[in-house]
A and B are shown apart, each in its own frame.
Chain A
C-alpha cells in the first residue's frame, strides 16, 4: 500500500515515513508483506490508482517492544496491517489477568474485531520492533464496494478472525494444542514467503502458555518433549520443525486458525 505525505498522527501512534523494515514497496508496487496487495493487484489497481481513490493508508511506527498500538475501549477508525515485527492482542479479565487472544505476524491485519461496536475490544502491544500500515476502515469499506476482490479479501480476513477461537474452544490435550500452534505459525510464515520450517518465536513462554491455556511450565515441558523426540529443535527463541508431518499428526486440527 502507499503512504501519504506528510505523515499524520493518530490513535495508532506517530507516523514514520519510509521505515526500513518491509519498506520494499514504491509508487507502483506494494510492500512484500502487504495484506491487501494480492486483492488489489489482481483487480488491476496499482498504488497510484489507490491514491486517486483517496484511500488513506499510512505507514506508522516503529513501535518498540511493550508499546501499545491501541487499547481496549479506544474509538475504532482504522485497521492495521503488520509490516514488520509481531503484535500481541489481549484482554484483561475481571480479575485483571491478561488473556492473550493472538499473535499477528507480518502481512496480517489487526483491529478487525473492533468493527462491531466501533471501539477496540482488546489491547494490542508490540512484542518487538513493529511497523504497521494503517488503513482507514470507512474508506477501505467504500473501496471494497467497488472492488470485488478487495471485498472478498476483507470477508476472508473476517472469517479467519472468527476461526481463531477454534484451537482453544475444545478440550484438546496440551501436546495437540502446542503442535497445532506451531503448525499454524509455520503456515502463516510460509504464506508470506518466509521459511515454514525454521522461525523465531518472539513471544515469551508465559504469553504462549496463556494463549494456549496452559501453565508456562507445561508449555516448556511440552516443547522439551517435542525436542527430545526430535520432532522440533528449540534454540533459544528459534524453532526448527524437524518432522512437520509428525507434528501434523499430533495437532488437534489441520488448520485451526484458517
Chain B
C-alpha cells in the first residue's frame, strides 16, 4: 500500500512534527484553576445526570508513581473514591469502560485488582460487557494472563527502549485479550532499535497501534524515525481511527463524518460517542460535561480528602461557551479528521466563520500545503495532515501549549 502524500519534503515535515502543540484537545493542566472547589465538581456531576439520555461513563483508575502505601490500603482508597462518585450519580448512569492507567497493575496484585473490578458493578450500573483496558509499560513484570484472568479485556503495551514490549504484546495476544494495542513514544535519537521494534510489532498485527504524542518528548527526538513510523503503519494498512490511534485494516472503521459525535477523552482514546470520564486516584483527571477537574496529586493529601468524605478535587475548569464550541471543532478534527461545518452551525445556531474568523484564516496555510481540503461544507484532513492533525486543530485553539 502506498502512503498518500502532498509532496512535502521530509525536512518540512520534521520541523512540523516538532512544532506540534502538546495540548490541543483540552486546555493544558496549568490552566485548571485551584479555586475550583468540591462544589463545582458536585454541580457538574448533578448536571451530567440531567441529560436526556445521560452519557455513559468511563472510569479512569490511577495511582501515584512510587507510592509506598500498602496495596490493601491503596485498594481501599480507590474503592472509597469510587463510592463518593457513585453517591452523586443518578441510578441509571452506566459504566461502559474502565481504564487502568500505567502503574495500577504493578501496585495492585491481580487478586486486589480483581476486587477493584468486581466492586464497580456493586457501586454503579454497567453495560453488559464493559471494556476494561489495562496499560502496561514495556518494562512491566506483570504477567498479562493474570490480568486477563481477573477481568481485563484490553491490553495496551507502552513502548520503551529499555523494555521488551514486543514480548509483552505477544503474551497479551496469547492470553486471549479481546484486543491488544501498542502505544509508541517519540523516539530518542540514540534509540537505535525503535523502527525494528515497530517492525516486530507490525508482524504481530495488534488491533491498534498508537503513534507518539508530542506531550513528552525526549531531549533529542529522532524525528525522522517518528515520521517513518507513520509511513510504516500506513504501508502495513493501518488506518487513522482518531487522535493518534491507527487500526488494523481488516477491522470495521467507524463512520467519521465530522458531525461532532465521536470524541477523544482526556486519555486520548477516540470513542464512538462522548462519555463522562471519572478520574479515580491521586492526580487523576475527570471530564464531566463541560467541566474538567483534577484530583489532588499528592497521595497523602488525596487520602486525607477521602477521610473527610470528599473525592479530593484540587483544580478544575468550566469551559466557557466559546471554549465549548472550540472543543467541538477540535474534537471533530481530531477524531474524524474532518469537520462538517453545516452540522456545527446547526447545533450552535452560529456561522462557523463568525465564531472562528481567525481560525479560518489560519487554516489557509494547510490548504495550500495539501494537508486540508474544503469540499461541500466539510473540512477534511488529508495526506500528511493526518500525522499533523494537532497543528490543524490548533488553528481553532490558538492558545494550545507547544
Contact = CB atoms under 8 A, between A and B. Distances in A.
A230 B347 CA distance: 20
A105 B63 CA distance: 49
B128 to A, nearest CB: 14
Interface stretch (B45-53, B103-111, B199-207): B45-53
B91 A220 contact: no
16 contacts: A204-B50, A205-B51, A206-B50, A216-B90, A217-B92, A219-B52, A220-B53, A220-B54, A221-B92, A223-B52, A234-B52, A235-B347, A236-B51, A237-B51, A237-B52, A239-B52
By DSSP majority rule, is chain B's interface helix, strand, loop, or mixed? loop
Nearest to A195: B346
A235 B92 contact: no
Interface in B48-69: 49-54
A205 B52 CA distance: 5
B261 interface: yes
Contacts of A235: 260-261, 347
Interface in A166-209: 198, 201, 204-206, 208
A201 B52 CA distance: 8
Given A201-B52, A227-B53, A236-B51, A220 B347 contact: no
A198 B51 contact: no
A237 B260 CA distance: 13
Contacts of A216: 49-50, 90
Question: In the complex, which range does the number of interface residues on chain B fall in?
Answer: 10 to 19
B92 A238 contact: no
B52 A208 contact: yes
A224 interface: yes
B52 A220 contact: yes
Interface string B31-52: 0000000000000000001111
Interface in B71-105: 90-92
A195 B346 CA distance: 11
Contacts of B53: 205, 220, 223-224, 227, 234
Given A205-B51, A223-B53, 17 more contacts: A198-B346, A205-B50, A216-B49, A216-B90, A217-B90, A217-B91, A217-B92, A220-B52, A220-B54, A220-B92, A227-B53, A235-B261, A236-B51, A236-B52, A237-B51, A237-B52, A239-B52
Contacts of A223: 52-53
Counting chain B CB atoms within 10 Å of each CB, which of A217, A220, A237, A239 scores highest?
A220
A128 to B, nearest CB: 12
Counting chain B CB atoms within 10 Å of each CB, which of A205, A217, A227, A238 scores highest?
A205
